[in-house]
A and B are shown apart, each in its own frame.
Chain A
């Protein structure tokens, strides 16, 4: 209990500033509220629609509900958000939404209000409608119109207007046309029964036609499929996108060749991180060996040299590599001066994979050397002596006796370097160019530039899962108990 109290401040800090934001971001990879929040009635109405062919457009009622939703969205200025969300999935949708939002005013919806008010004056009276919808049985039977009316009351109405806007009647028409005769009779309201009887009259002023006439894209089955696919609250769309798949006309399919970028990036991130890890082992092992076997005074000096990069800003180190590696840089200049490289054919060593690998190996090297060093320091020199006295040559003694005992250090260093490398961002961004960037650069792009947070979160989740799986595999093969950091 006291232990818990002692760690409580840190725990709270970590929970609030680290775990919760990450959990929130990860949640965004499946969360998809925009369509169902802004187009709630359309989302509900389109559920039953399953396109059988190019000409099989959604029912008139779906269009009616879309009109209701869009009218409200325009009033709330949210219609463009739906557009841009759906635009991630199918380019061009955004403009359809933007245009129809502006053109909605020109749709002739008067026949709808006229139809009801001509039958019964009461339909034009807010008080009558309010009383009608306050009956829970009726609001349950007419969900679209009930919610449309309430929204109208809060967002649209003012003291001067007593007759609701046309969209409320469009919603009413949509609700009524889906109800069966006996259901309407059960409600026991005469005006509803009368309105229901002749509701088919309204098909002459089809909202569907108005949409398609205004913009023929609304007659495109694929646009509606996109809306239907992304209308549920939760979606696997971001994840599919993150592995270059999409939900097409016939379920999940691969993206077009030109749109496949993420799998390549994942593979490249893994391969380059592995290269960096191997390079760090090759470069770091001899240094760690030297550190562990030099007299203390010299070892400390060397250790400071190893740690020196830690005390220098990451940006400075990366920029230093820019200075060294660029075509007009120090290395090229030297090579040209001594005649190894022709001035016209200066080496391209930066803004590609080579640059990223060189700079990151340098930056991550201490993370390999330190665990190796601390493990090597615990290997008593008597093992090597024992091996030598038993007849082993210096190399055999090293390879059969010393090296196996230093493996936990290699393991710890590799896990550390690989995991750090996989998520590295700044260095590939600065020296990686196009070919040398990592998946993390793409994640950063989606978080800060394209603002497609869902996709960014999905990519991040995949990266996290991949690292966890690697960790698990490593634990099974090497055993995490064999990893020593000191």
Chain B
């Protein structure tokens, strides 16, 4: 990979403010490699969509540079950027048929008729929608419209495709199906995709890398597994995946371990992530599936603590148990539904345990 392939899209010190006072994007630096699937994940108002709109050319950066394939595109109007875009509500032109919608980007590029027809047909085949060519968008289901919007963004063969919460309006099953379809298309066509979503499952499933946005800043930029297993601050830990937090004060800290005095008085040991000195307040984060309720299964070196069972929910593949642990009565444990797994009854007091390395001490 050459340097420019690693920096196909590049945000350099980009800032954006709508009113001249509040920065919605604060000093963004981000490089996206050629052919990469990068997801911008974050709650609404975190600045992720603004970043996408700046890249597409619908918003101008207040400060900084945006580069595409090594060229500054700050002053290039949207229609000359050659970036495909899929919108949240699909934005299929209601007065044109599916064919005409797909043909539109080719027409404005003054492509000949036969060439256009060939490309439209190819794009429709790609999303398995050939038999709907003459329909109007309003005659299609949500999922079908989504495929057409995808085909339209790809038909003029852009190297970069932006997707702004494209699956937001679909039901759960269709959404999961489309996630894989988009992922497969990306693998086949090798286009660069910048994908914006607030759905963390979607981000984890589809992306090569995920940039978690909050408050106009990228909180963490990492591959899905790193993001899930090694969140670098409490926001990322909370936002990505389910998470149990116990609050306390750092008692003792060295390079590889920290001792935390929880607010209930219990002392636990945890991996220090972004805490620096003793006396600091901290949030200790443990994933629900890393907590063991059966002491026989707990590996050597595990930490145990007593807990009161508040609620037991049978969810089919997993059991979900709500416990009261060290004063936190919203402590969730997920255990696989295997034959030897015991089902807990509300009211009983049990021992639970986890490995100290699964327990991450983060900022409070």
Contacts and interface: CB of A to CB of B under 8 A. Distances in A.
Interface of A: 380, 382-383, 385-394, 396-397, 400-401, 404-405
B47 to A, nearest CB: 18
B224 interface: no
B89 A389 contact: no
B188 to A, nearest CB: 21
A243 B138 CA distance: 48
Contact of B85 (A380, A385, A396): A385
B152 interface: yes
Contacts of B95: 404-405
A394 B87 CA distance: 18
A372 to B, nearest CB: 17
A388 B79 contact: yes
B78 A385 contact: yes
Nearest to B105: A390
Interface in B69-90: 77-85, 87-89
A383 B153 CA distance: 13
Given A385-B58, A388-B57, A389-B85, A401 B79 contact: no
B94 A405 contact: yes
B156 interface: yes
A479 to B, nearest CB: 13
Given A385-B56, A390-B153, A391-B82, 13 more contacts: A382-B88, A386-B92, A387-B104, A388-B58, A388-B77, A389-B78, A389-B79, A389-B81, A390-B104, A392-B104, A393-B79, A396-B108, A401-B93
B57 to A, nearest CB: 7
Given A382-B89, A383-B93, A401-B93, A389 B84 contact: yes
30 contacts: A382-B88, A382-B89, A385-B56, A385-B58, A385-B78, A385-B87, A385-B91, A387-B93, A388-B77, A388-B78, A388-B79, A389-B56, A389-B57, A389-B78, A389-B84, A389-B85, A389-B162, A390-B84, A390-B85, A390-B108, A390-B153, A391-B105, A391-B108, A391-B156, A392-B108, A393-B79, A397-B79, A404-B95, A405-B93, A405-B94
A300 to B, nearest CB: 20
Contact of A382 (B81, B83, B91): B91
Contacts of A387: 93, 104
Q: Is the interface of A mostly helix, strand, loop or mixed?
A: helix
B172 interface: no
Contacts of A389: 56-57, 78-79, 81, 83-85, 153, 162
B91 A386 contact: yes
B109 interface: yes
Contacts of B77: 388, 394
Contacts of A390: 79, 84-85, 104-105, 108, 152-153, 156
B118 to A, nearest CB: 18
Q: Which 5 A-B pairs have the closest CB atoms?
A: A390-B105, A386-B91, A389-B85, A388-B78, A382-B91
Contact of A393 (B91, B93, B108, B152): B108
A317 B44 CA distance: 50
A387 B87 CA distance: 11
A408 B108 CA distance: 25
Contacts of B58: 385, 388
A389 B153 CA distance: 9
Contacts of A400: 104, 108
Size bracket of the B interface: 20 to 34
A401 B83 CA distance: 19
A382 B89 CA distance: 8
A27 B291 CA distance: 91
Contact of B87 (A382, A392, A397, A401): A382
A388 to B, nearest CB: 4
A386 B77 CA distance: 13
A383 B104 CA distance: 12
Contacts of A404: 95
A397 B91 CA distance: 13
Contacts of A388: 57-58, 77-79
Contacts of B152: 390
B248 to A, nearest CB: 47
A387 B82 CA distance: 12
Contacts of A393: 79, 108
Contacts of B85: 385-386, 389-390
Contacts of B92: 386
Given A385-B58, A387-B104, A400-B104, A392 B89 contact: no
Nearest to A405: B95
Interface centre among A385, A390, A397 (most CB of B within 10 A): A390
A30 to B, nearest CB: 46
A404 B83 CA distance: 25
A400 B107 CA distance: 11
Contacts of A386: 85, 87, 91-93
Contacts of A380: 89, 91
Contacts of B104: 387, 390, 392, 400
Contacts of B89: 380, 382
Nearest to B102: A390
Contacts of B109: 391
Contacts of A392: 79, 104-105, 108
Interface in B104-163: 104-105, 108-109, 152-153, 156, 162
Contacts of B82: 391
Contacts of B80: 391
Contacts of A401: 93
A386 B96 CA distance: 14
Interface centre among A380, A387, A404 (most CB of B within 10 A): A387
A401 to B, nearest CB: 6
Nearest to A389: B85
Nearest to B87: A382
B98 to A, nearest CB: 14
A318 to B, nearest CB: 39
Contacts of A397: 79
Contacts of B79: 388-394, 397
A401 B87 CA distance: 16
Interface centre among B83, B91, B152 (most CB of A within 10 A): B91
Contacts of B156: 390-391
